[in-house]
Structure 1
Amino acid sequence: MTDTGINRSMRLGRRSLLQSLGVAAIGISFGGLAACGKTSSGSNGKIAATGEEPKLNFYNWDTYIGETTLADFKGASGTDVNMTMFASNDELFAKLRAGNPGYDVIVPSNDFVERMAAADMIVALDHAQIPNLKNIDPSFIDVPYDPGRKYSMPYTWLTLGIGYRKSKVKVKPDSWKVLFDSDEYKGRIAVLSEAGDMFRLYGKYLGKSVNALTPDDIKTIAAMMEKQKPFIKAFHEDNGQDLLLKGEVDLVLEYNGDIAQIMAEDDDIDFVLPKEGSQLNSDTLCIPKGAPHPKNAHAFINYLLDAEVDKKITETILYPTPNAAAKALMPDDYKNNPVIFPSKEQLAKCEYAKYRPDIQPLYEEAFTRVRAS
């Protein structure tokens, strides 16, 4: 990736970004909604344009937002945003399973949109309050996991692959084998901590569809995972790019956008989609059932879908955006980056995961046993 067109200072790793944002200034918290329980300073009983108190609780990936997005939203609307962060869809689901503790907007991935809708955990969106839906590429509107975008708005799309340090590998690691079925880089690899993703990607390595695994396949894969576990340095919590950048590992299973961020900081880092294919994800904006500020939530989602706003977010997180109006504003070194936008041939081998209520508990039970072994 070249540095033309995108300000290098905006290409920060997730934890570096926290420092530049200034935690106190925008209400970022690591401790859940206990830190968000009081009305934010500056509210003082005021009413937002929506008629609700000027406050919003945002549960997001770490830190999956532009440098000034939350402060800019406050400037535009007068609404304070308290953002707390989760590390996996499993964590998000567990947090809301027993009831919404006070979140207004959440960011689940595609299969968890299906899962949460089936469990009556998210509410139908009022599209009349989200006119910026017009900015979204039509291919992201009528999607299998949420036909007609009843429950979710597209935020990003992404794929999983291998980030690696070029000086530490003998050849380009273009197969899942190096992570899943080899001791070649023992003690120097990190993989995901999310059960479903791990089992589905092992399935890809074995030549199966991510949506066609059987209980017998899960047993086979769990045995492979237990065999491979001694060679794994870490099951990372949404910070694989940090481990790679710091030199703690040489290969990591990560999202393309996260690796694109650190490639801008270190020329020795690269990313590859394995030849067996991979899993596609789409992260979305949803309103959980029981949201205390549903009108503010709609206003915030609409704001994030604004072309200029999403452009600033995309400049920071470097994930593929489904926002056609925002993408059109981005420079060529983003639009033509093969890490961010894999080729049609590569994408043809990738699939979106479907929520399978019969299989998901088996993923989680088996992965818990693997992690404890």
Structure 2
Amino acid sequence: MNAVTTQTTLAALRQSIGRRSLLQGLGVAAVGISFGGLAACSGGSGGTASTGEEATLNFYNWDTYIGETTLDDFAESSGITVNMSLFATNDELFAKLRAGNAGYDVIVPSNDFVERMIQANLIQELDQSKIPNMANVDPTFIDVAYDPGRKYSMPYTWLALGIGYRKSAVSARPDSWKVLFDSPEYAGKIALLSEAGDVIRLGAKYLGHSVNEITPEIIAEVEAMMIRQKPNIRTFHEDNGQDLLLSGEVDLVLEYNGDIAQIMTEDDDIDFVIPGEGSQLNSDNLCIPVGAPHPLNAHMFINNLLDAEVGKKITETILYPTPNAAAKALMPDDYKNNPVIFPPADLLAKCEYASYNAELQPLYEEAFTRIRAA
């Protein structure tokens, strides 16, 4: 199966099964697709790209986080075959890179993990002269706290965590984190993320704390609350929360706005809310890990993803808020004015980006391990 066939098959599968599971229908043998490791056919086309490197690139990405034809279009324009592997959490991505780069050229960590990877020397500085499409990025996403001046990363999306829910299954709009973290009302019908930091920080947000002013005492308080709530939680999902909601396995899920926006196009009984206490914002980013075998191809690929038309096609598929101003300008009004994708200003004012805290991170992970084992 070649890359073009792979994309055609993906489009067909998308019509019949959920987005999170559509790639699983292909199996790990499909060219350009694998789970948890490099694609089976990582040898590329066997030729040489215009960069002078082997005409291949290994991309480690979240599931359902690329346009339907993006990889094929890049292969056609550049002659570079992209082998895309999938990870489910930032924790998984970090552990994989910390163990030694297995051959990845471009990765997509979230903002706090960009900061963490910079400190751990896991990602390399970018040559911005090779990324002229950086000019398409909204200036507010350039000088960010976790990577000032974008020395190590380029913005891919931004996103907000909230509650995806089935309208017919809830007694009222679930506009408080209480329904997920501190209530038996929807026992057995709740799915939470499986990322330690996100769950602990949002639990703290519910209890009235900033996600960036957490102490060991607050972590202990959140842990106790979550252990009490554990019998009411059906599962901690591995980046497939919207599939669980779409299939009816759960009625409420802690998820990202873009993921829920995707399935809202398939089921009008599904909605999304940012709770009144506020939430956590994330930004996913394009980075080149230390030891990337094809760094010049990686710069070319990142530059391609920041092209206005390419960014538009990606955004049409994944339905996440885009920091690419040129791409956003090409999108229709029903995207630009969608309150799920772009939450109202009053709610955004209560949301925060989380900073990486080296002292607290192991405490998050230890508490979360105990919560899951309870």
Q: 1:103 and 2:73 equivalent?
A: no
Task: Report the Cα distance in structure 2 between the residues aligned to 1:20 and 1:127, rounded to whole angstroms.
Answer: 38
Q: Which residue pairs with 2:320 in the alignment?
A: 319
Q: Which residue pairs with 1:94 in the alignment?
A: 95
- 1:35 is aligned, of 40, 52, 59, to 40
Secondary structure of residue in 2 paired with 1:328 = helix
Question: What is the Cα deviation at residue 144 of structure 1?
Answer: 0.5
Query: What's the TM-score, normalizing by structure 1?
Result: 0.94
Task: Report the Cα distance in structure 2 between the residues aligned to 1:120 and 1:266, rounded to whole angstroms.
Answer: 43
Question: What is the Cα deviation at residue 24 of structure 1?
Answer: 6.2
Structure 1: gaps (5+ residues)? 1-8
Secondary structure of residue in 2 paired with 1:15 = coil
Kindly report which structure 2 residues correspond to 1:241-280, keeping only aligned pairs within 5 A, or say none.
Answer: 241-280=242-281
Secondary structure of residue in 2 paired with 1:151 = coil
Question: What is the Cα deviation at residue 35 of structure 1?
Answer: 2.4
Task: Report the Cα distance in structure 1 between the residues aligned to 2:285 and 2:201, rounded to whole angstroms.
Answer: 20
Question: What is the Cα deviation at residue 369 of structure 1?
Answer: 1.3
Partner AA of 1:18 in structure 2: L
Seq. identity, %: 76
1:214–1:25 Cα change, 3 Å = same
Task: Report the Cα distance in structure 1 between the residues aligned to 2:64 and 2:14, rounded to whole angstroms.
Answer: 13
1:26–1:312 Cα change, 3 Å = farther
Partner AA of 1:131 in structure 2: P
Question: Residue 10 of structure 1 contacts residue 67 of structure 1 at CA under 8 Å; is this kept in 2?
Answer: no
Task: Report the Cα distance in structure 2 between the residues aligned to 1:221 and 1:19, rounded to whole angstroms.
Answer: 35
- Higher relative contact order (Cα pairs below 8 Å, separated by 6+ residues): 1
Secondary structure of residue in 2 paired with 1:327 = helix
Partner AA of 1:77 in structure 2: S
Task: Report the Cα distance in structure 2 between the residues aligned to 1:367 and 1:35, rounded to whole angstroms.
Answer: 33
- Alignment RMSD: 1.8
Kindly report which structure 2 residues correspond to 1:153-172, keeping only aligned pairs within 5 A, or say none.
Answer: 153-172=154-173
1:16–1:365 Cα change, 3 Å = closer
Q: Which residue pairs with 1:355 in the alignment?
A: 356
Structure 2: gaps (5+ residues)? 1-12
Task: Report the Cα distance in structure 2 between the residues aligned to 1:221 and 1:106, rounded to whole angstroms.
Answer: 31
Q: Which residue pairs with 1:285 in the alignment?
A: 286
Q: 1:223 and 2:224 equivalent?
A: yes
Deviations 1:74-105 (A, max 9, x none): 00101011110000000000001121111000
Question: What is the Cα deviation at residue 30 of structure 1?
Answer: 1.4
Query: What's the TM-score, normalizing by structure 2?
Result: 0.94
Secondary structure of residue in 2 paired with 1:298 = helix
Task: Report the Cα distance in structure 2 between the residues aligned to 1:19 and 1:229, rounded to whole angstroms.
Answer: 29
Misfit runs of 4+, over 6 Å: 9-12, 19-25
Partner AA of 2:32 in structure 1: G
Question: What is the Cα deviation at residue 13 of structure 1?
Answer: 4.3
Deviations 1:173-226 (A, max 9, x none): 000000000000000010010000001000110110001110011111111111
